Amino acid sequence: MKKIFIILFLFISYSGFCQIPDLERVEPMFWFTKMHNPKLQLLVHGKDIASHKVKLNYPGVQLVKVNKVESPNYLFLDLLVSPFAKAGEFTINFTEKGKKSLSYNYRLKDKENSPNRIQGVTQKDFIYLLMPDRFSNGDTSNDVVKGLKEATVNRDSMYYRHGGDIQGVINHLDYLKDLGVTTIWMTPEIENDMPQASYHGYAVTDHYKIDPRFGTNQLYKKYVEDCHAKGLKVIKDIVHNHIGSNHWFYNDLPMKNWLNQWPVYTQTSYRDQPVMDPHASEADKKKMLDGWFVPTMPDLNQRNPYVQNYLTQNHIWWIEYAGIDGLRLDTYPYNDPEFMADWELKLHAEFPRLSIFGETLVSSVASQAFFTGGNTVNRGFDTHLPGVTDAVLKDAIYEGLNGKNGWVDGINRIYATLAQDFLYKNPNNNCIFLDNHDMSRFYAMVNEDFAKYKMGITMLLTMRGIPEMYYGTEILMKNYANPDGLVRSDFMGGWATDSLDKFTEKGRTPKENEAFDYVKTLANYRQKSEALQSGKLMQYVPENDLYVYLRYIPNRPKGTVMVVINNTENNKTLDTARFAEQLKGITKGKDIFTGKIANINQLQIPKMSATVLELN
């Protein structure tokens, strides 16, 4: 009996502790003046808040409508913010007869109008992708945060937190600047209060909060400002498709159709084809789009207008708050197509220079192009998506480095893939890459062959599109995605207890320094080459197993960059007479690695090599 009493007491105490506060949150917690869209929808969450009447009084702000939904713990307030509304604070009052009044002090802040604040990311840039938990631990005080579900730091496991954070990235901005990086893309920094594998960031539990183990909202804003001060741009990784199963609103849904619900758990098919297949069944299409990514990642119903507003406003809020230059869109093909098209228009209306590219890990050029803007004939509407992560070109480069040369195999795969660029409105907006956090590392995939490594890096940094390199590639970090996830290993030197510091020349092996210097030389040259930054691409059908392409500015032959890839075990002689239409009498070129001047009439191309010449 005594035991039952204790259990009952604990249950009552726990239940009382978990009661939703009268007014738990208002999101967005503040907004900005002079936005392009004057409409603002506030999500208000609190115990039985729907029974309250709402009033506010502030010049230039009108309460248009109070929306009640299925849950009594939510109200959605439609506001109209006049272009003449000034920055300031006003009170939103919630009253119910016979009960205490609730209030929230809402603030409007001035929209920042600096012309260079949100710069956009183009093929002039070189993106460095990193996972903040695995890059550097700059603040050990936030390694474990009391109250969060994962309270363990274990660097011996790939599935636990390692302690890296935003301050660690800030501490190494000069390293990235020296390497030739112009843009940093971190995997999501947003709160992931999940009991396991919370480090990766793709299972958000609070859309408006930086994970406290990474830092604070204020620190993230400072990180962006510090990057801009050093001439670096920032890409934010965002997830439309799903949330984490410990998200605060998953545990108290505003309405049943806030999520894509199924009679029994249904996982996505992970097949992009039904979205574009003219012969597809509606059942296959629904399973792809509405199925959950994994059981711990509930699928948001993006056909719900409240969900649409919530996501769109959240992304606008982060961009304006922090001054972000670009967005990478996770799992793009899994999202509702019509919503994503509307979302893109709304974001570019607010931020015309913002850059956006979507993750499309698909298997053909046509499949990638299907998701990009301008393909209205096939879709019936325009997605307005500027670019995608070019996984098909990545696969072609692997084939070019590892395969046996044939009619459409080996080096010819690269040529054939780029020959299909006519399917894109602008292929230069595609983000090109060799690997990322979800796949085996590039150096492992070329069997740690350093010659192949240099050829791959050369193509990455001289090809059309926006190049992205995964952290550690510059120091030959390796490993495969399965079975142990070591592709997400720590960057050695980012922790005070590390025995070696790979951020320094002294801490790297001679081979690692050679790789670092190779990337650095090419990346920094790229920043000075107009041809590589904004020039056109002209490629030639591979002959004698040599793949040749040029980057050039029309009608300006000087400064043209010629790249020659020889993926064979034989030295070759390249007769450049067939390139006369572009060379226009130029006979010499400078090797950008050695500085030596070469006569280009008869070029000697070493076996297993990449030759990069600036023609002059």
Is-catalytic flag, 191?
no
Per the residue annotation, which of 133, 330, 468, 512 is the catalytic one?
330
DSSP label at residue 83: T
Place 616 in a pLDDT band, splitting at 50, 70 and 90: confident
Q: How many CA atoms lie within 13 A of 27 on its CB side?
A: 24
Task: Let me know: does 166 contact 214? Beta carbons within 8 Å.
Answer: yes
- C-alpha 592/C-alpha 206 separation (Å) is 48
User: In which band, very low, low, confident or very high, does the pLDDT at 2 lie, cut at 50, 70 and 90?
Assistant: very low
Higher per-residue pLDDT: 216 or 483: 216
DSSP 615: E
Average pLDDT rounded to a whole number, residues 536-542? 97
Instruction: Tell which residue, 456, 401, 403, has the closest CA to residue 433.
Output: 456
Residue 13 has pLDDT above 70, yes or no: no
Q: What is the CATH number of the domain that holds 541?
A: 2.60.40.1180
536-543/233-238 β-pairing:
unpaired
Q: Answer yes or no: are the C-beta atoms of 314 and 2 closer than 8 Å.
A: no
Checking DSSP bridges between strand 546-553 and strand 572-575, what pairing results, if any?
unpaired
Q: For the segment 125-174, what is each residue's pLDDT rounded down to a tens digit?
A: 999 999 999 999 999 999 999 999 998 999 999 999 999 999 999 999 99
Q: What is the DSSP letter of 8?
A: H
Is pLDDT of 587 > 50?
Answer: yes
Residue 72, pLDDT score: 97
Among the candidates 109, 132, 158, a domain finishes at: 109
* Domain end point (choices 41, 75, 109): 109
Tens digit of each residue's pLDDT (9 = 90 or more) over 488-526: 999 999 999 999 999 999 999 999 999 999 999 999 999
136-150, 284-298, 580-594 — which is least confidently predicted?
A: 580-594
Residue numbers of the domain that contains 545: 537-615
Pair of tokens at residue 368: 């990638």
Q: CATH number for the domain including 46?
A: 2.60.40.10
Residues written for the chain: 616
Out of 359, 399, 421, 614, the active site residue is 359
For residue 229, is pLDDT > 80?
Answer: yes
Q: What's the farthest any 2 CA atoms get from each other in the chain?
A: 100
Domain presence at residue 102:
yes
Q: Which two tokens stand for residue 67?
A: 């929306």
* Residue 498 falls in the annotated catalytic set: no
Residue 460 lies in a domain: no
Rounded Cα distance between 255 and 437, Å, is 34
Amino acid at site 13: S
Tell me, yes or no, whether 67 lies in a domain. yes
Q: What pTM value is reported for the model?
A: 0.95
Task: Choose one of 77, 109, 141: the last residue of a domain.
Answer: 109
Give 483's pLDDT tier (boundaries 50, 70, 90): confident
The pLDDT of residue 241 is above 90: yes
Q: How much is the pLDDT for 21?
A: 59
pLDDT of residue 305: 98
Which pLDDT band, with edges at 50, 70 and 90, does 74 fall under?
Answer: very high
CA distances in angstroms from 267 to 75, 113, 250, 251, 298, listed in the order given:
31, 44, 18, 20, 10
Number of C-alpha atoms within 13 angstroms, CB side, residue 419? Answer: 9
Q: Is 37 part of a structural domain of the chain?
A: yes
Provide the pairing of β-strand 183-186 with 190-191: unpaired
Q: Return the percentage of the chain with pLDDT > 90, whole number.
A: 89
Tell me how many domains the chain contains.
2
Element (H, E) at 289: helix 282-290
Whether residue 79 is contained in a domain is answered as: yes
- Asked whether residue 54 is assigned to any structural domain, the reply reads yes
For 393-446, write each residue's pLDDT tens digit: 999 999 999 999 999 999 999 999 999 999 999 999 999 999 999 999 999 999
Please tell me the predicted confidence (pLDDT) of residue 482: 85
* Res 455 pLDDT > 70: yes
Q: What is the dihedral of CA 410, 414, 419, 421, to 10 degrees?
A: 150
- Residue 308 forms part of a structural domain: no
How large is the average pLDDT for residues 258-272? 97
Average pLDDT of span 362-371: 95
* Mean pLDDT in residue range 222-250: 98
Strand ranges in 347-393 using DSSP code E only, listed in sequence order:
355-358, 387-388
Residue 168 lies in a domain: no
Q: What pLDDT does residue 20 have?
A: 44
State how beta strands 102-109 and 466-470 pair. unpaired
> Average model confidence (pLDDT) for the chain?
94
